[in-house]
Amino acid sequence: MTGTKKLYIKTYGCQMNVYDSERMAEAMGGQGYEEVSSPEEADMILLNTCHIREKAAEKVYSELGRYKGLKAEKPDLTIGVAGCVAQAEGAEIMRRQPMVDLVVGPQSYHKLPQLEARAREGHKALDTDFPEEDKFDHLKRRPKARRGPTAFLTVQEGCDKFCAFCVVPYTRGAEVSRPAARIMDEARDLVERGVREITLLGQNVNAYHGHDGGLAGLIRELATIDGLARIRFTTSHPNDMDDALIAAHGEVDKLMPYLHLPVQAGSDRILKRMNRQHTAEQYIRLIERLRDARPDLHLSGDFIVGFPEETEADFQATLDLIEAVRYGSAFSFKYSERPGTPAAERPQVDEAAKDDRLQRLQALLTRQQRELQDAMVGREVEVLFEKPGRLPGQMVGKSEYLHAVHVHDERIAPGDLARVRIDHSGPNSLRGVEAVLQKPQ
């Protein structure tokens, strides 16, 4: 094949997969590939998969089925599966879908160029090992093209918590932290290319230990980078929210007042069965300490309803916790079995009960979110603008609290920071007026 080759990547799941897809595209860019927006254009299709949600593997097989016609039309088309489903299913993917040419796990995607070359030679290519070497050492440096104003930056991978419902320890492996010096280099490079807000990523990001001061120390060092205006991090575990990180929320101006801190349930009995290793009371006291450090902190959480053996009283305890904490946003799901996890072997809650509980829980969360969003009307917030809106002269961005905000002001461009007064709260966004542009920090 001569000339530029075309790569189509479909990304499922979390922000870490978004980051991984970016790095996969960069790795294949060194092999002459450029990204395209549709599979029909592609010489290589790569599905970067997630194993967290219900029937994740079946959704991948269904997506692969859509490409059978393309493969028949273009026999040289390379089809690959990456990510957590690839790690969990391995050779089974190739057995069920023989048209798949390569399968690579999330810790081995730095080997994509070699796997693609092997596939081009007509061989099946499979790598789902947990290699000893750091994949980030083997990835090419990011190209110097301009970036949008926000970016993800993975600092930690894997998890040692072994929650009873979760496959992450099996698909992403043990907790590993990237050295702080490499993260600082990557962050400076991103800022040089136009990034003004960086979100630090990890399956258990506040367990990061690649800096002498832990995640708090890394955040404080990142805050010294000229031109970097905002820092966020996700996803955290309550047991790793240490004193230094709590203090950073009150002391580091560039650390945004928004925290995603999953609790999953409000019943101590269910938390113990989940192997969360904390109680509801401990979680609530932690939130109080965080809000003492940063009174305007907005909280986000994760909730699972219908966990095996959950009773109505257990579920009511979750509602009580939500009432006590008050969330600015949240993600909520019915429990779904993950083969190989302890919870999958336990007595399951009736699906009708799960549906009913999820509806009640989401109604409460929606009410809280709406009340907190409506309370922003009349306040002044700082917005980092990211892209034009749907209307002429409209720009859209995020407040420090991660609310979507739109403003009509033709002076504003992507990457600008501005103080705006909120004058209206819509279903999914806020409207700002009287924008005052801020100078770069």
**DSSP class of residue 345?**
G
| Nearest residue to 294 via CA among 329, 326, 249 | 249
Q: Out of 83-92, 201-210, 233-242, pick the least confident.
A: 83-92
Q: Measure CA 403 to chain center.
A: 17
For 246, residues 6+ apart whose C-beta sits below 8 A from its C-beta are 289, 290, 293
Residue 324's H or E segment, with its range, is helix 312-325
Mean pLDDT of 260-284: 97
Annotated binding-site residue? 408: no
Query: What is the pLDDT at residue 438?
Result: 87
184 and 149 Cβ atoms separated by less than 8 Å: no
Mean pLDDT of 30-55: 85
Annotated binding-site residue? 62: no
The phi and psi torsions of 391 (rounded to 5 degrees) equal -105, 150
89-102 tens-digit pLDDT: 878 888 889 999 99
pLDDT over 70 (residue 106)? yes
pLDDT over 70 (residue 142)? no
Mean pLDDT of 30-39: 90
Annotated binding-site residue? 409: no
Query: What is the pLDDT at residue 441?
Result: 59
| Nearest residue to 84 via CA among 17, 138, 133 | 17
Annotated binding-site residue? 163: yes
The phi and psi torsions of 439 (rounded to 5 degrees) equal -75, 150
For all residues of the chain together, what is the average pLDDT?
A: 91
Query: What is the pLDDT at residue 1?
Result: 44
| Nearest residue to 37 via CA among 68, 64, 69, 11 | 11
pLDDT over 90 (residue 303)? yes
259 and 293 Cβ atoms separated by less than 8 Å: no
Alpha-helical (H) ranges within 100-232 are 112-120, 135-138, 168-171, 180-192, 214-222
The phi and psi torsions of 173 (rounded to 5 degrees) equal 85, -170
Q: Out of 219-223, 254-258, 323-327, 425-429, pick the least confident.
A: 425-429
Residue 166: pLDDT band with limits 50, 70, 90: confident
Which is more confidently placed, 422 or 126? 422
CA distances from 398 to 121, 256, 280, 361, 427 (A): 47, 11, 31, 26, 15
Tally of CB atoms within 10 A around 73: 9
Tokens of 51: 């194993």
pLDDT over 90 (residue 313)? yes
Whether the model clears a pTM of 0.85, i.e. scores above it, the answer is no
Mean pLDDT of 268-280: 97
330-373 tens-digit pLDDT: 999 999 888 788 998 899 999 999 999 999 999 999 999 999 99
| Nearest residue to 231 via CA among 197, 207, 202 | 197
Annotated binding-site residue? 335: no
What is the rounded distance in angstroms from the CA atom of residue 428 to the CA atom of residue 340? 38
Q: Out of 57-61, 96-100, 313-317, 334-338, pick the least confident.
A: 57-61
Query: What is the pLDDT at residue 202?
Result: 93
For 285, residues 6+ apart whose C-beta sits below 8 A from its C-beta are none
Q: Measure CA 288 to chain center.
A: 25
389-431 tens-digit pLDDT: 999 999 999 999 999 999 999 999 999 999 999 999 998 899 9
What domains does the chain contain, in order, with CATH numbers? 5-127 (3.40.50.12160), 141-256 (3.30.750.210), 259-375 (3.30.750.200), 380-437 (2.40.50.140)
Amino acid at 3: G
Annotated binding-site residue? 66: no
Three-class secondary structure of residue 294 per DSSP: coil
